[in-house]
Amino acid sequence: MSKIKNVLVVNGSPKGKNSITLQTSRYLELLFPDLTFDTLHVGAQIKALEKDMTPAIEKLKGADLIVFSYPVYTFIAPYQLHRFIELLKECNVDLSDKYATQISTSKHFYDWTAHRYVEDNALDLNLKYIKGLSADMDDLTTKKGQKEAVDFWNYVLYAVENDILVRNTLDYSTPNKVSVIPNTVTETRDNGDIVILTNAEENDNQLHDMIAYFSSVMPRKTRVINIREYPFKGGCLGCFNCASTGKCIYKDNFDSFLREEIQTAEAIVMAFTIKDHSMGASFKLYDDRQFCNGHRTVTMGMPMGYIVSGNLSKEENLKVIIEGRANVGGNFLAGVATDEFEPNKELDALAKSLEYALENQYVPPQNFLGIGGMKIFRDLIWQMQGLMRADHKFYKAHGQYDFPQKHRGRMIAMYLVGSLMSNKKLMAKAGNMMNEGMLMPYNKVLEKTKKELDK
């Protein structure tokens, strides 16, 4: 029996029912009729909730899954949702048996920090949190965006059933290096190939045990590559010899090894022990030498994961690097398993999440860390295409030159909207027509979906 029946959407938009973000939940409600959806309009009703939180608390108590839905305002969630979370904490409501996730819409400017804010507060409330969906404002009006929304929801339901949750590390006092208990069950292996890339030293028994346990529970074949054993001739020199040909100036064949032994895998799992607030110098050597790929996201679509020994919960910068690496590369970060608390459970969850991503080709949309990074690379490669020829060819082939000046129709439409909004008389006559106009493309999607489901 499913753990989820009743879904409560906590709508933090001050626009209430006219929220663009809310339309994604409405779309999912149509496609998942076995679930009961309800909406709490906290953004539009915050003044009333300040006087009486009872209606909100009753709805929260009746929910199995809580979805925080909001537009990103200035680096974070809107004031109204902030205030609701304050009120919720003041009420000391016990939500520890409930699951939570989030859906936001924005133009991806610091959507990452907004999501982290909601995630941290969900964990404060002892909610069982699952990573959310950060969508572009217009995504639901496209086939790609609709698929991403459905893929996200299917993953949420899978994560609930398999307890693939974000663990609370905000107030962390558990000792480092909890021992891994060996797995004695022999798993049936399917065809597949997961590369576990590590820099483990010979005497790092904890990391070796974590790798061995993960390999034993991963439902696909795994192979371990220890980059300490590779005969590197040296670190990247920044000479740009590879910019045109993709070939490194060093004659140690690392570029061929990278492409033939590592990037041909179905997924990559990085395994390391934290050293000097990083993955260690040997991993940095590997990362730098990957510049033979230039700025080409050659592994995009490939899921990846991490096995980490050490106090990752204390390493904020390293956590950002891990998430940013996946986002810029267009990879689904299937999980980060550490030995701080329950390593076996976290390694189990990583294996399940990775297997789900491979089975369902799950690739969530990029957030600010990925979108922002790729726009910087896009402009850089466009300007330096004469030198970075391999990058330029790759960017053209994959449609990564998505310059805004190409969208002339939208620019003209925004001029018309701007003229309307600057005319006080027209705005007075328009009334609520602006909100209705903004929702028209989303209503078309919902109406079309209803008709298709009714056939």
Under 8 Å between Cβ of 136 and 106: yes
Confidence check: pLDDT of 20 > 80? yes
pTM of the entire structure?
A: 0.86
**Which of 258, 263, 262 has its CA nearest to residue 289?**
258
Confidence check: pLDDT of 435 > 80? no
Span 358-381, pLDDT tens digits:
999 999 999 999 999 999 899 989
Confidence of residue 169 (pLDDT cuts 50, 70, 90): low
Q: Which residues contact 360 (CB under 8 A, 6 or more apart)?
A: 151, 154, 155
Confidence of residue 166 (pLDDT cuts 50, 70, 90): confident
**Which of 57, 149, 63 has its CA nearest to residue 98?**
63
Q: Which CATH superfamily is domain 6-162 in?
A: Flavodoxin domain (3.40.50.360)
CATH code matching the domain that covers 190-370, chosen among 3.10.20.30, 3.30.930.10, 3.30.2310.20, 3.40.50.360: 3.40.50.360
Per-domain residue ranges of the chain: 6-162, 190-370, 404-454
Burial class (CB in 10 A: 0-12, 13-18, 19+), 286: buried
Confidence of residue 2 (pLDDT cuts 50, 70, 90): confident
The pLDDT of residue 176 is 62
Domains 6-162 and 190-370 share a fold: yes
If you average pLDDT over residues 298-317, what whole number do you get? 94
Query: How would you classify the pairing of strands 65-71 and 36-40?
Result: unpaired
Sheet order of strands, 190-198 included: 220-226, 190-198, 267-273, 304-309, 333-338
If you average pLDDT over residues 171-190, what whole number do you get? 63
If you average pLDDT over residues 155-179, what whole number do you get? 77
Our measurement of the distance from residue 74's CA atom to the centroid of its chain's CA atoms, rounded to an integer in Å, reads 20
Q: At residue 310, what are phi and psi to the nearest 5 degrees? A: 130, 175
The pLDDT of residue 212 is 97
Range in 12-16, 180-184, 430-434 with the lowest mean pLDDT: 430-434
Q: Which residues contact 116 (CB under 8 A, 6 or more apart)?
A: none
The pLDDT of residue 387 is 86
Q: Which helix (H) or strand (E) holds 60?
A: helix 54-61
Span 58-115, pLDDT tens digits:
999 999 999 999 999 988 999 999 999 999 999 999 999 899 999 999 999 899 999 9
Confidence check: pLDDT of 416 > 80? no
Buried b / exposed e over 149-158, threshold 16 CB at 10 Å, is bebbbebbbb
If you average pLDDT over residues 381-389, what whole number do you get? 89
Look over the chain and give the mean of its residue pLDDT values, rounded to a whole number.
Answer: 91
Residue 162 identity (one-letter amino acid): N
